[in-house]
Amino acid sequence: MKTVKRTWVVNGESRTVDVPPARRLLDVLRVELKLTGTKEGCGEGECGACTILLNGQPVVSCLMAAGHVPDGSELMTVEGLEKTENGRLLQEAYVEKGAAQCGFCIPGMIMSSYALLTRNPHPDEAEIRTAHAGNLCRCTGYQKIVEAVELAATKWKRA
Amino acid sequence: MRSVEDIACVFPASLKEALEIQADEKRRGRILAGGTDLMVQWESGLQPAPERVVGILGVPELRGIREEDDAIVVGAATTHWQLHTSALVRQFAPALAASAATVGGVQIQSLGTIAGNVANASPAGDLAPALLVTGGSVVVASVAGERTISLAQFFLGYRKIDLKPEELIVRFVLPKLPYGFREGFTKLGPRAAQAISKVMGAWRGKASAGVVESFAVALGSMAPTAVRLGDLEAWLPGKKINKKLLDEVEAKVTASLKPIDDIRSTAEYRGWVSGRLVRGFLEELAHVCG
Amino acid sequence: MSGAGPKRLIYSVAVRILRTRVRYSMTTGVTHRKGIIGKGIARVDGLEKVRGITQYVDDLDMPGCWHAFVVRSPVAHGKLRGLQLDPAFDWSKVVVVTASDIPGPNLFVMHDRSMPVLAADTVRYIGEPMALVAAPTLAQAKEAAAHIKADIEELPPILTLEELVALFKDGKLVTGVEQQAPAGVGGFAGGTPASGDVLCSQSIIKGDVEKGLAEADLVVEGEYTAGYQEQLYIEPQGMIAIPQKDGGVFLRGSLQCPYYVVHELHEALGLPADKVRVRQEAVGGAFGGKEEFPSMVAGYCALPALKSGKPVKLIYDRHQDILFTTKRHPVWVRHKTGLKRDGTITAIKVDFLLNGGAYLTLSDVVMYRGILHAAMGYRCPNVDVNGLTGRTNVFPSGAFRGFGAPQATWGMESQIDRCAEALGVAPHEFRLKNCLQVGDTTPTGMVLIDSVGSPTVLTEALQRAKFDQKLKRCTHGKPGAKSWYGIGLSFFAHGSGFTGDGESKIGTKVLLELGWFENGRPGVTIRVSSTDMGQGAFTVLSQIVADGLCAAIEQVRYPLPDTSLAPNSGPTVASRTTMVVGATLFGAAQKLRAMLEEFAGKPITSARQFDSVADKYLQQHGPTRVENGFKLPDKIKWDQKTFRGDAYPAFAWGCNIAEVEIDPRTLALSVRKVTAVFDIGRLINPVLAKGQIEGGLTQALGYAVMEKMGIRNGRFDADRMQTYIIPTMLDVPEYDIHFVEFPYEFAAPGAKGVGEMPMDGLAPAIANAVFQATGVRMTDLPITPEKLLRALSAKDTK
């Protein structure tokens, strides 16, 4: 099996992988890059637990062929949040509001929150809900997640 | 059992390169764009993973949305997200923008492409009805050159399109919404987001003083492909939009199609609600056009 | 400090306030004013979850771990003649386990010892495990599994609830059939009862229901059904089995009940119980789906692990998880209610039939909880509840939040609305008139005395939702309306703690260890088998212990439950954890605090004092353990044979009010707002409690209007997340959630259960609202536009 080499900027650090070209990006993150924060909930792009940011855009990593992610792409996973001020305040807002219960959907959910606030730091409730419609949660009923994003929005630092 | 791990992939950097690969039977592979349909099918075993895949997201000629006279030209690799956030699409093909906004959630919209959606040719493909009512075309290419096919002729049947093995979809040419015309789109699903439709429809039309001048309407999830209601479209111009007409239209639509029972809905409901949907479209037309 | 014995500054304050027949009493267990019980502190494991560093079972680094794959029956019912391993395949690189490899008896204990670990001579459902394969990679294991063929002579199956109901109505669902335990090691040699037989049955009888029906002015009948529901925890099932040098096995996985796994497996593994060590890893949601089922997952990886000597991992992908794990029991409930013109109830007769799937597993207890709730909530002298669970050749139904109570409440609260309608009385007036209150007797003869939140939850909810005003706005299917509006309610109780004699059988034990933490300061470690699956047990139980000790939350820690380190505090189920385990831990904390206060010669009233006293204590005495056990109050009397007496130590109470809008154009149903008031006793952490309600109501919303799972070709049809639809963030209504506190004084600090309660009442409240909106009564869950269309068409053609 011919593998491909890719060099990406992952959570601010340059990382190189050498993998079968259609290996799922989710598996490359969890196994090769040892970033187990991103989760597999369904393997079919429905639950959003595998959500990461690709050049700032939320994507479901379980449906992406690693080879299709070009060199130089910027990837951000949940582990990268604490490296930025906005990421940390978003995490704090989630903790303060009690937004996590079992926590399994949270790595994907919080990446969708980060992408939304980066794009739109003053979302209304409808915009918050639409931005997270691709992240399923079975524990919380979503209410405290919405409140956490609203709280983070009040403190968000614009670029 | 071949899994995605075993697939040999190439990622051409230009359209020329991609077409040359597809022209060669020994190198030709399944075309992969965003993967939101194909990767699901291969990973789950619903479809066997192919030996070879050609990933086309790196081909620059397939990107971009631009104006060209009376049409907008949309690159094959345009994502749903790009479609519904594009000022051009929102202005000149608003039903298409509205459709793209209902595909999955943000994550799927970031990956899925217009060509992927069309090539997958699912009966529930979200973009097909809106594309059909524009009266537009798809341009496909091979090493032999380009071929333009009217979208009305492109969907041949259940998951079948008029595309030869050596061809690639490169762009869509969609007539702009003419002055005075309006468009609409409705999708009915089992929940508010991230859902495959039970029934959906798109329309493009014009009325004045409550009389239909022109009306194009297409329904999805009602047949093996999305369908334009040609007989209805030919019958409507000149008719006044009133309760009598709407009742007649509703009955005609319900009688004209034979939808199926499946995991999402029933033939009975689909048949009934499709009539209601088109009735609603005409009411909307009367309301917005005056 | 004077006084003999440990000076425990604990006093009871019983405040009797007579408010419209409500008795309200409260016991405080601590003297200091700054206790953290009642505070919405942040969950102790919250930060790690938002950092993405929590380790769920598939995140654990296990170099050299093999992967298991289960070989499953392709047919629903048949005689298994044998398994053939393809001789052309190289079997030396993998390990295969069949029934004959099982060291002990080939069975899971469950409740009747009838379920084999691996099918030996009969297969009873599509997907039933026949063999196990483990290999260095999952791909290799799947490849090997594809080279195992089963020779099965097919037998006719019974597959659906509808078939069971037809048999029941024909008098052919045979009651009183006992399942014989299988005999012999290594093979399931039990008899093959006919499909369509009864797995279990039980009745509740109070008074004389036929007399009650004869006395009635009016008899109202109704039948209600609900289908399967899949738990759909976002983290699929997963388990790792690590063989130990002493011949035992260490199991690490996503599970609710570590000791259940020990109990279920050790016989089949041929090991003494103490050689099976089980540890809960972080659990990504469970909802009952990880109550009994993980014991089976554990068996499927422990057997190849022990045979090969390698650690073996089994992680279900979503498709396998939906197809091959337990679901909520489908139900058919038939009600016959006798009413007098004065609005009172003379008789409640219920037939309650569950679809149990291929084996009993724990369906008896689901049925027990079901029948205990099937006629619950209202005053009635004559009650007859006839409960049965029928066998079908489908995956065994199992535990799912509510455990029979949602099914029972679906039937009862729909029927109550029907009764009100028949009498011409408003639905809330009928409930206010008849609801059980302090001094009343339940169908099993339990007199409600302690901690009774009725009618408060009802009056409070009605007032908050402005129910009687909004009732007047309901559209009743008015033609030409742009939108149909309806408001509906449900009122219900939920038994807290294990059903019937369960709590006394469990014999909850807890342990607190006083010692040094890594930071060099004293602290207390909680050792219980209760798991946190997201509901917040780690936090709530830590709060209770901290409060009992007068310590800060940072001075308490709660490591992952491990059977080699923690005693059996019972399973994390049945809405018992905060109430029962919490009370037992509170008692242990008070014992420890008393020891420290005696040592110090003065009371401890701050965390700083706890730190300095404990520090000195440890220097003198070294690390110290305090145990405690739970004992039900003596006054609780229950007869498991006759099903009479006090079925639960206490009931939690709830009222749900749903407002719906239906678009007459498409019949799309939208639940706009839910008002919910609950009595769950003393609130330990209001933020976590509210989170449980918000999540539970959303899961109940799914049960009511969108989660549809049927059987096609013998197996579950909505077998992917694409087809099994649960609510997204855009589907959730506005919630107005409120708690009223009626603490359970016999188990300080007085909490009752909250976990299951939000599941019970929303579906009937929605159906009742739909009735007010459209004029049609929907009697089958989920309520969909397709069914509404059919019901409205039927109404129009009358």
pLDDT tens digits along C629-652? 998 888 899 999 999 999 999 999
For residue C735, the distance in angstroms to the closest alpha carbon of chain B comes to: 18
Contact B192 C731 (CB under 8 A): yes
Query: Burial level of A37, CB count in 10 A (0-12/13-18/19+)?
Result: buried
Q: What is the pLDDT of residue B270?
A: 98
pLDDT by residue (tens digit) across C76-87?
A: 999 999 999 999
Tens digit of each residue's pLDDT (9 = 90 or more) over C465-498: 999 999 999 999 999 999 999 999 999 999 999 8
Q: What CA–CA distance (Å, rounded) separates C566 from C559? A: 10
Computed over every residue of chain B, the mean pLDDT equals: 96
Contact call for residues C514 and C522 (beta carbons, < 8 A): yes
Flag if B108 and A60 touch (Cβ within 8 Å).
yes
Distance CA A88, CA C580 (A): 38
3-state secondary structure chain A: CCCEEEEEEECCEEEEEEECCCCEHHHHHHHHCCCCCCCCCCCCCCCCCCEEEECCEEEEHHHCEHHHCCCCCEEECHHHHHHCHHHHHHHHHHHHHCCCCCCCCHHHHHHHHHHHHHHCCCCCHHHHHHHCCCCCCCCCCCHHHHHHHHHHHHHCCCC
Chain B contact for C789, CB < 8 A? yes
> Which of C665, C786, C792 is best to mutate for the B interface (most B CBs within 10 A)?
C786
Condensed to tens digits (0 to 9), the pLDDT of residues B216-253 reads 999 999 999 999 999 999 999 999 999 999 999 999 99
A and B: number of Cβ contacts within 8 A: 106
Answer yes or no: CATH 3.40.50.720 is held by domain A4-79: no
Partners of residue A99 in chain C, C-beta under 8 Å:
50
Query: In sequence order, which residues have a C-beta less than 8 Å from that of residue C626 and are 6 or more positions away?
Result: C511, C512, C514, C588, C591, C592, C595
**What average pLDDT does the segment C727-750 reach?**
96
Which chain B residues are Cβ-neighbours of A128 within 8 angstroms?
none
With a threshold of 0.90, tell me whether the complex ipTM lies above it.
yes
* B residues 19-48 closer than 8 Å to C (CB): 40, 44
Q: How many CA atoms lie within 13 A of C472 on its CB side?
A: 3
Q: Rounded to an integer, what distance in angstroms lies between the CA atom of residue B245 and that of residue B279?
A: 9
Of B8, B106, B193, the CB nearest to A58: B106
Probe site for chain A from B37, B63, B106 (most A CB atoms < 10 A):
B106
Query: Which chain C residues are Cβ-neighbours of A140 within 8 angstroms?
Result: 691, 694-695, 698
Peptide bond between residue C258 and the one before it cis (omega within 30 degrees of 0)? no
Nearest to C261 by CA among C244, C239, C278, C274: C278
Q: Does C63 touch chain A (CB under 8 A)?
A: no
Surface of C (681-740) touching A: CB under 8 A? 687-688, 691, 693-699, 720-722, 726, 728-730, 732, 735
Model confidence pLDDT, tens digit, residues C220-263: 999 999 999 999 999 999 999 999 999 999 999 999 999 999 99
Residue reference for tokens 């393997």: A43
Q: Which of C67, C699, C722 best tests the B interface by mutation, with the highest count of B CBs <10 A?
A: C722
Taking residue C422's Cβ as centre, other Cβ atoms within 10 Å add up to 15
Q: Which chain C residues are closer than 8 Å to A43 by Cβ?
A: 317-319
Cα(C624)–Cα(C613) distance, rounded to whole angstroms?
14
The CA distance from A93 to C740, in Å, is 28
With CB atoms and an 8 Å threshold, state whether C728 touches B192: yes
Whole-number pLDDT of residue B2: 81
Average pLDDT rounded to a whole number, residues C320-337: 98
Q: Is the peptide bond before C63 cis (omega within 30 degrees of 0)?
A: no
Q: Report the alpha-carbon distance of residue C195 to residue C176 in Å, rounded.
A: 15
Which among C700, C659, C657, C663 is positioned nearest to C785, based on CA atoms? Answer: C663
CB contact under 8 A, C143 and B264: no
- Helix axes of C607-621 and C582-600: crossing angle, nearest 10 degrees: 70
The whole-number pLDDT of residue C330 equals 98
Q: Is the pLDDT of residue C734 over 70?
A: yes
Alpha-carbon span B270 to C283, nearest angstrom:
41
- C154-168 burial code (b ≥16 CB/10 A, e <16): ebebbbbbebbbebb
Name the band, by pLDDT with cuts 50, 70 and 90, for residue C196: low
Residue-wise pLDDT for C47-89, tens only, equals: 999 999 999 999 999 999 999 999 999 999 999 999 999 999 9
The answer to whether residue B58 scores a pLDDT higher than 80 is: yes
Q: What is the mean pLDDT of residues B45-53?
A: 94
Q: Which residues of A touch B116 (CB under 8 A)?
A: none
Q: Which residues of B touch C731 (CB under 8 A)?
A: 191-193
Q: Which domains does chain B have, with CATH numbers?
A: 4-55 (3.30.43), 60-175 (3.30.465.10), 182-289 (3.30.390.50)
**From the CB of residue B189, how many other CB atoms can be counted at a distance below 10 Å?**
22
pLDDT, tens only, A129-141:
999 999 999 999 9
Give the separation between CA C38 and CA A80, rounded to whole angstroms: 35
Candidates B191, B200, B249, B276, partner chain C, best to mutate (most C CBs within 10 A): B191
Q: Using CA atoms, how far apart are residues C400 and C390, in angstroms rounded to an integer?
A: 18
Are the beta carbons of C404 and C762 closer than 8 angstroms?
no
Residue C665 three-state SS? coil
What mean pLDDT do residues C545-562 have?
97
The yes-or-no verdict on residue C30 having pLDDT over 70 is: no
pLDDT in tens, C708-718: 999 999 999 99
Sorted by sequence, the CB contacts under 8 Å of residue C662 that are 6+ apart come out as C483, C484, C486, C668, C669, C670, C770, C773, C774, C788
Query: Which pLDDT score is estimated for C796?
Result: 81
Average pLDDT, chain C: 92
Which comes out higher in pLDDT, residue B77 or C192?
B77
Tens-place pLDDT, residues C12-22: 222 232 222 22
Q: Which residue of C has its CA nearest to A144?
A: C691
- Report chain A residues whose CB lies below 8 A from the CB of B84: none
CATH of the domain spanning C234-323: 3.30.365.10
Q: Residue B13: is its pLDDT beyond 60? A: yes
The pTM (predicted TM-score) of the whole model is: 0.95
Confidence check: pLDDT of C174 > 80? no
Domain ranges in chain C are 1-57+508-629, 234-323, 331-500+640-796
Which residues, numbered 342 to 381 in chain C, qualify as contacts with chain A under a Cβ-Cβ cut-off of 8 Å?
none
Q: How far is C686 from chain A (nearest CA, A)?
A: 11
User: Model confidence at C797, in pLDDT bands (50, 70, 90)?
Assistant: confident
Chain A residue nearest residue C732, CA to CA: A141
User: Over the stretch C343-362, which tens digit does the pLDDT of each residue have?
Assistant: 999 999 999 999 999 999 99
Scanning every residue of chain C, which has its alpha carbon at the shortest distance from the alpha carbon of B200? C666
Which chain A residue has its CA at the smallest distance from B46's CA?
A: A44
> What residues contact residue C312 under an 8 Å CB cut-off, 6+ apart?
C65, C66, C67, C68, C134, C240, C241, C301, C302, C304, C305
The residue of A44, A83, A102, A111 whose CB has the most chain C CBs within 10 angstroms, and thus the best one to mutate to test that interface, is A102
Counted across chains B and C, CB pairs separated by less than 8 A come out at 54
Q: What's the pLDDT band for C187 if we cut at 50, 70, 90?
A: very low
Confidence of residue C798 (pLDDT cuts 50, 70, 90): low
Tell me what the mean pLDDT of segment B8-18 comes to: 97
- Class for domain C331-500+640-796, per CATH? alpha beta
Which segments within chain B are labelled E, that is strand?
8-10, 30-32, 52-55, 65-68, 71-75, 137-142, 145-150, 155-157, 160-161, 168-175, 182-188, 199-208, 211-220, 227-228
Q: Are C392 and C195 in contact (CB under 8 A)?
A: yes
Length of chain C: 798
> What are the residue boundaries of the structural domains of chain A, listed by start?
4-79, 81-155
* DSSP letters for C476-538: TT-TT-SSEEEEEEEEEEEEESSSTTHHHHH--EEEEEEEE-TTSSEEEEEE-S---SSS-HH
Sequence-ordered list of residues with C-beta below 8 angstroms from that of C637, at least 6 positions apart, any chain: C645, C646
Other CB atoms closer than 10 Å to residue A71's CB: what's the count? Answer: 10
User: Is a pLDDT exceeding 90 seen at residue C92?
Assistant: yes
Residue keyed to tokens 């790690």: C48
Beta pairing partners, C690: none
CA distance C472 to C96: 67
Find the angle CA(C150)-CA(C152)-CA(C156) to the nearest 5 degrees: 145
Sign, CA dihedral C341-C345-C346-C347, equals: positive
- Chain B residues within 8 A of A2 when measuring between CB atoms: 8
Identify residue C331 by its one-letter amino acid code. Answer: V
Residue C63 half-sphere exposure toward CB, CA atoms < 13 A: 1
Percentage with pLDDT > 70 across chain C? 93
Tell me the pLDDT band of C756, cut-offs 50, 70 and 90.
Answer: very high
Nearest CB to B276: which of C665, C720, C790?
C665
In terms of Cα–Cα distance, which of C258, C269, C272, C285 is closest to C562?
A: C258
Neighbours of C440 (CB within 10 A): 18
Residue A142: list chain C partners with CB under 8 A.
694, 698, 729, 732
Task: Determine the distance in angstroms separating the CA of C780 from the nearest CA of chain B, rounded to an integer.
Answer: 16
Report phi then psi at C736, rounded to 5: -120, 105
Q: In CATH terms, is domain C1-57+508-629 a member of 2.60.40.10?
A: no
Query: Would the CB atoms of C721 and A82 count as touching at under 8 Å?
Result: no
Q: Which fold would CATH assign to domain A81-155?
A: DNA polymerase; domain 1 (1.10.150)
Please report the pLDDT score of residue A158 as a whole number: 87
Q: C348 with C418: CB under 8 angstroms?
A: no
Residue C428 belongs to what H/E stretch? Answer: helix C427-434
* Residue C565 at interface with chain B, using a CB cutoff of 8 Å: no
Tokens of residue C405, six digits? 């109570």
Kindly indicate the confidence band of residue A40, based on its pLDDT and cuts at 50, 70 and 90. Answer: very high
CB-neighbour burial class of residue C48 (10 A; exposed 0-12, middle 13-18, buried 19+): middle
- In tens, the pLDDT along C508-540 reads 999 999 999 999 999 999 999 999 999 999 999
Residues of C in contact with A78 (CB under 8 A): 50-52
